[in-house]
Amino acid sequence: MAGFLRRLRAGPGSRAGRRRGPGAGEKQGAPGPLLPGRRLWSALSERSLARQVFVLQLVIVLLLVLAAVAALVLHARNDSERAARDRGLATAQAFAHSPGMLRALRSADPTGVLQPRAEDARKRSRVDGIVVANREGVRYTHPNEDRIGKRIVADITRAQRGRVQVEEVEGTIGRIVRVIVPVTDSRGDVVGLVGVGIKVETVGAGDALPPLLGTAAGALVLAAAGTAWVTRRLRRQTKGLGPTEMTRMYEHHDAVLHAVHEGVVIVDGEGRLLLANDEASRLLDLPPDARGRPVPELGLEPRIEELLSTGRVATDEILPSGDRLLAVNSRPTGERGGPPGSVATFRDSTELSRLSGRVESARRRLRLLYDATGAIGTTLDVTRTAEELVRVAVPRLADYATVDLAEPVLRGDEPGPSYGSPQMRRTAFEGIRGDPPLMPVGELITFLPSSSQARSFAEERAVLEPRLNDSFGWALDAERAARITQAGIHSLIAAPLRARGVLLGVVTLWRSEKPEPFEEDDLSIADELAARAALSIDNARRYTREHAMAVTLQRRLLPRALPDQSAVEVASRYLPAAGGVSGDWFDVIPLPGARVALVIGDVVGRGLHAAATMGRLRTAVHNFSTLDVPPDELLAHLDELVGRIDQDAVTAGDEAAITGATCLYAIYDPVSRICVMARAGHPAPALMRPDGTVEFPEVPGGPPLGIGGLPFEAAELTLEEGSRLVVYSDGLIERRGQDLDTSLRALRLVLERARGSPEQICDAVIDGLLPVPQHDDIALLVARTHVLEAGQVAEWDVESDPAAVASVRAAVLGRLTEWGLDDIAFTTELILSELLTNAIQHATSPVQVRLLRDRTLLICEVSDGTSTSPHLRYAATTDEGGRGLFLVAQLADRWGTRYTKEGKVIWTEQALPESGGPAEASPAPVPAAAGGDGIGGGRAADVTEESNGRR
């Protein structure tokens, strides 16, 4: 080979130089030029490196191909066995659990039922046999019918115990897989067995062997061609390197070996040191004559000596060597035919370990901050946020953690500046043990100016006390400081909770079980945790303040107490949502004529805006109700008002619109028992009849308020006495993921079971339907209707003749005497005379008079056919009229006008004597400016017949 390499280095010129003249070749009979294939073969025929590589690669490829073929054959055989098991098990289980199996096993002729099914299943599933037997193994089915009725010869104990039995056996038809599956009844008892047999060769992969061998042969040919190509390139690239070049290459490798900063040690099979580079000598402190000496004589560390002597495998194992920590890797050299021994590498990991420790510590801190981002501030609750902060800090950063907050923060207020010795309330605590000598939660703490917490306030940054035993003044008092240090607490960090320039409190971190004290790096983590927590606490504080203001505002805007009236008995409930107050409201408004208005509404949004908007709408409803208009007309006025408010808000650049608010308005008349109601986008009411049935009346659903452009329609219901009208906001029935019909059915069931007073019905509804958690406000109003009896109502039709006034007045006085109201008879006579005279002179027929004796009021009504409204005014001294209505206003407690479809009604109210109200037996003094007209004649006319445009 050396001669061959030398010839390669010499090149064509050398060969030409050795020839003695141009004719030397012919004289010696030298052959002509060789073809490329013959030149390759000639080169390979020599003992060259290329030839050795070619033969070696060819042998390796051949072995790999043979190994691959053998592996694929074995794999195909295993796949056949596994496929046979899977098919047999699936067929047996499917047949055992097929419908009607238990009934067939218990029938009079199991074979007649199961044999056809088994054969059909065998053909469909392509197995060799399906056998059904009873629990004792007696066959009911078999492909060979002469074996039916005989026992199964195999061991079926496992299957009789209710377990699946799979086994591979050599049978008369070859190697088969047999699967036996128990058939169990509903109690789990084995009542029969289903066995399936399948030949392995049925699902075998033997047909794939010829293609496999062909592929292997093709691969071998390609590999041989590739190896030849690589060998040719190798022969060109080696350029015939000889011993000198190889020696030089070895020297280069030796120089590199001694220059690397990684120690390399080679030990022979007898435990002697063969090689140690310069880095290994430095790291292991080897003597100059170490080469060739046994390892135990080198004075190494015991663990390193044991590793080199035994030659065991090690991977990145950390071993000490003096003041260093070495990362050691060791591998034996004789595993692949090499000489016995081992080679080990050594790296100095002391500095790397220190750097890795700092990196790991930084990683833990960053992970802590990352987790704190998602764990702190999950709610808008001040105390809960403080508790989340201490839970994040313990035990990953500290063994104990406390949070102290200024008392105004807990109330939602902004704390003022703290000077000297600030006072704070302990709000949260977390520790590895529950009994440290620290102030308990709820304690009011005064921090001395020398304490760590007070210094953190003054410096506006976290304060570190690495060793409490060496520090003074960090505790509140000497006695508590002694108890804290005796409990093993040895280090602390106090970090102020400051957000938006306001000091909210302080978080204190303590260490006891962790032996290392807090470091400077921990200060930055504490500061970052405190900053994030402070921002969340301040957000919660602001929310607490706004929520408290909204709740207070809404409760003050809602009716403090329901008015006293006789038309209905009312109970109400208002439950604000857990996530913030919205704009739900309700109202009960007494109306003239002993009637009452029931109102419930809902404003879109939450917070102060929703509460303030609710107050505006409630006030508007009260104002519109004084006009005594029908419910649909009142909602139209309210809709127009909401539209104007939103338009003004948009013009002013306010995005908080109120369009979308809903409202239901109902008027109940206890005399006629008629209830008229209309709704604007609000849920329909529920009606509980006196017999206990519950229905949802068909009330036309108008659009929400502020939409505009569509009319509202009213529905009229006649209610029996004792009926209960239930109105509510959508927070009572709306559920996430639940349709409205389901919620209404639940409300119907609750109302059908509810009994008793409106208060009891409210309790039953809230107990049965209150959602947890409550995402929306709930307003609920239950009204039980009353009826004015016939004896409490008196009506008279009046002719359009002034002479008829006297007879009506006499009838009224008689009825007042029957009611025992003689004390107010004269006052009532004056009021009725004025109103009736005005109606006869200035209005059109029909004219009617109606008296209502309510529980606390006497109501006098005069109706006519015109829609013009009378106006109260002062009459001049020379005026003949204009004083009667002024006199009515002085004598009655309240008076007014309401409009009907037929005209208008002038009404007055007087308190009954027993109710403690005024009960004059004679007319009140009339001011001089009013004059003193007669009564009952035309001179009392005081109405200026001017239409006010309202009908």
HEC letters along 107-171: CCCHHHHHHHHHHHHHHHHCCCEEEEEECCCEECCCCCHHHCCCECCCCCHHHHCCCCEEEEEEE
Of the listed ranges 215-219, 665-669, 939-943, the least confidently predicted one is 939-943
> What's the pLDDT at 597?
96
Nearest to 613 by CA among 572, 553, 547, 665: 553
Amino acid symbol at 287: P
The larger pLDDT score, comparing residue 254 to residue 571, is at: 571
477 φ/ψ angles, rounded to the nearest 5 degrees: -155, 165
Q: What is the per-residue pLDDT across 51-100, written as a single tens digit (0 to 9) for each?
A: 666 677 777 877 877 777 777 677 666 767 788 788 888 888 888 888 88
- Beta bridge partners of residue 665, listed in sequence order: 599, 678
Q: Is 753 helix (H, G, I), strand (E, B) or coil?
A: helix
- Beta bridge partners of residue 664, listed in sequence order: 600, 679
> What's the pLDDT at 591?
93
> What's the pLDDT at 657?
63
Q: What is the per-residue pLDDT across 304-339, written as a single tens digit (0 to 9) for each?
A: 888 888 888 998 888 888 878 888 999 888 777 678
Could you tell me if 598 and 781 are in contact, meaning their C-beta atoms sit under 8 angstroms apart?
yes
DSSP letter at 272 equals B
- Beta bridge partners of residue 157, listed in sequence order: none
Quote the CA–CA distance of 686 and 730 in Å, as a whole number: 13
The helix (run of H) or strand (run of E) holding residue 375 is: helix 350-375
Confidence of residue 16 (pLDDT cuts 50, 70, 90): very low
DSSP letter at 286 equals -
Could you tell me if 947 and 848 are in contact, meaning their C-beta atoms sit under 8 angstroms apart?
no
Neighbours of 267 (CB within 10 A): 26
Chain centroid to CA 34: 84
Residue 664 to residues 131, 642, 667, Cα–Cα distance (Å)? 76, 15, 10
Quote the CA–CA distance of 876 and 815 in Å, as a whole number: 37
739 pLDDT above the threshold of 70: yes
Nearest to 439 by CA among 391, 471, 479: 479
Confidence of residue 367 (pLDDT cuts 50, 70, 90): confident
**Which residue spans within 284-407 are E strands per DSSP?**
314-321, 324-332, 341-348, 400-405
Q: What is the per-residue pLDDT across 903-935, written as a single tens digit (0 to 9) for each?
A: 889 999 999 886 444 434 333 333 333 333 333
Q: What is the per-residue pLDDT across 42-52, written as a single tens digit (0 to 9) for each?
A: 444 444 555 66
720 pLDDT above the threshold of 90: yes
Chain centroid to CA 578: 16
With 0-12 / 13-18 / 19 or more C-beta atoms within 10 angstroms meaning exposed / middle / buried, residue 166 is: middle
Quote the CA–CA distance of 440 and 878 in Å, as a whole number: 86
The DSSP result for 581-646, as a single string, is -B--EEEEEEETTTEEEEEEEE-SSBSHHHHHHHHHHHHHHHHHHTTT--HHHHHHHHHHHHHHHH
The DSSP result for 863-924, as a single string, is EES--------PPPTT-SSS-HHHHHHHHSSEEEEEE-SSSEEEEEEEE-GGGTS---SSPP
748 pLDDT above the threshold of 90: yes
Taking the CA atoms of residue 352, residue 355, residue 361 and residue 367 in that order, the dihedral angle to the nearest 10 degrees is -90
Could you tell me if 203 and 40 are in contact, meaning their C-beta atoms sit under 8 angstroms apart?
no
Mean pLDDT taken over the chain: 80
| Omega before residue 846 within 30° of 0, cis | yes
Nearest to 842 by CA among 728, 946, 732: 946
- Helices in 652-781 by DSSP H: which ranges? 740-753, 758-769
Quote the CA–CA distance of 205 and 126 in Å, as a whole number: 16
Residue 205 to residues 82, 202, 214, 363, 421, Cα–Cα distance (Å)? 12, 9, 16, 55, 89
Q: Is 835 helix (H, G, I), strand (E, B) or coil?
A: helix
> What's the pLDDT at 19?
38
Could you tell me if 785 and 568 are in contact, meaning their C-beta atoms sit under 8 angstroms apart?
yes
The DSSP result for 523-546, as a single string, is HHHHHHHHHHHHHHHHHHHHHHHH
Could you tell me if 106 and 191 are in contact, meaning their C-beta atoms sit under 8 angstroms apart?
yes
Of the listed ranges 17-31, 167-181, 422-436, 571-585, the least confidently predicted one is 17-31
Ramachandran class of 585: left when φ > 0, alpha when ψ lies in -120 to 50, beta otherwise: beta
> What's the pLDDT at 248?
74
Residue 641 to residues 616, 627, 631, 638, Cα–Cα distance (Å)? 10, 15, 15, 5
Confidence of residue 231 (pLDDT cuts 50, 70, 90): low
Quote the CA–CA distance of 9 and 29 in Å, as a whole number: 25
For 301, the token pair is 């560390």
183 pLDDT above the threshold of 80: yes
145 pLDDT above the threshold of 90: no
Q: What is the per-residue pLDDT across 569-614, written as a single tens digit (0 to 9) for each?
A: 999 998 887 666 677 889 999 999 999 999 999 988 777 777 788 8
299 pLDDT above the threshold of 60: yes
Q: What is the per-residue pLDDT across 483-508, written as a single tens digit (0 to 9) for each?
A: 888 888 889 999 999 988 888 999 99
Could you tell me if 669 and 595 are in contact, meaning their C-beta atoms sit under 8 angstroms apart?
yes
Of the listed ranges 220-229, 257-266, 619-628, 678-687, the least confidently predicted one is 220-229
Which of 211-220, 468-477, 692-701 has maximum average pLDDT? 692-701
For 7, the token pair is 């010839």
Amino acid symbol at 764: A
Could you tell me if 712 and 676 are in contact, meaning their C-beta atoms sit under 8 angstroms apart?
no
Q: Is 789 helix (H, G, I), strand (E, B) or coil?
A: coil
Could you tell me if 365 and 525 are in contact, meaning their C-beta atoms sit under 8 angstroms apart?
yes
Neighbours of 343 (CB within 10 A): 17
Could you tell me if 549 and 581 are in contact, meaning their C-beta atoms sit under 8 angstroms apart?
no
Q: What is the per-residue pLDDT across 147-160, written as a single tens digit (0 to 9) for each?
A: 888 888 888 888 88
Q: What is the per-residue pLDDT across 239-251, written as a single tens digit (0 to 9) for each?
A: 555 556 656 776 7
Quote the CA–CA distance of 765 and 755 in Å, as a whole number: 11
pLDDT average, residue stretch 223-230:
74
Residue 792 to residues 269, 795, 938, Cα–Cα distance (Å)? 125, 10, 31
For 593, the token pair is 């004529």
How large a percentage of the chain has pLDDT more than 90?
A: 23
CA angle 573, 578, 583 (to 5 degrees): 60
Q: What pTM value is reported for the model?
A: 0.53
155 φ/ψ angles, rounded to the nearest 5 degrees: -75, 115
520 pLDDT above the threshold of 60: yes
- Helices in 802-858 by DSSP H: which ranges? 804-818, 825-842
The DSSP result for 402-454, as a single string, is EEEE-HHHHHTPPP----SS-EEEEEEEEESSS--SSPPTT-EEE--TTSHHH
How large a percentage of the chain has pLDDT more than 70?
A: 83
CA angle 459, 465, 469 (to 5 degrees): 145
297 pLDDT above the threshold of 80: yes
Over the range 830-847, which residues count as b (16 or more CB within 10 Å of their CB) and which as e? bbbbbbbbbbbbbbeeeb
Confidence of residue 38 (pLDDT cuts 50, 70, 90): low
CA-based max dimension of the chain: 174
Which of 151-165, 366-380, 641-655, 774-788 has maximum average pLDDT? 774-788
The DSSP result for 705-729, as a single string, is TT--SS----EEEE--TT-EEEEE-
Confidence of residue 771 (pLDDT cuts 50, 70, 90): confident
The larger pLDDT score, comparing residue 47 to residue 634, is at: 634
**Taking the CA of residue 584 as centre, how many other CA atoms within 13 Å lie in the half-sphere pointing to its CB?**
23
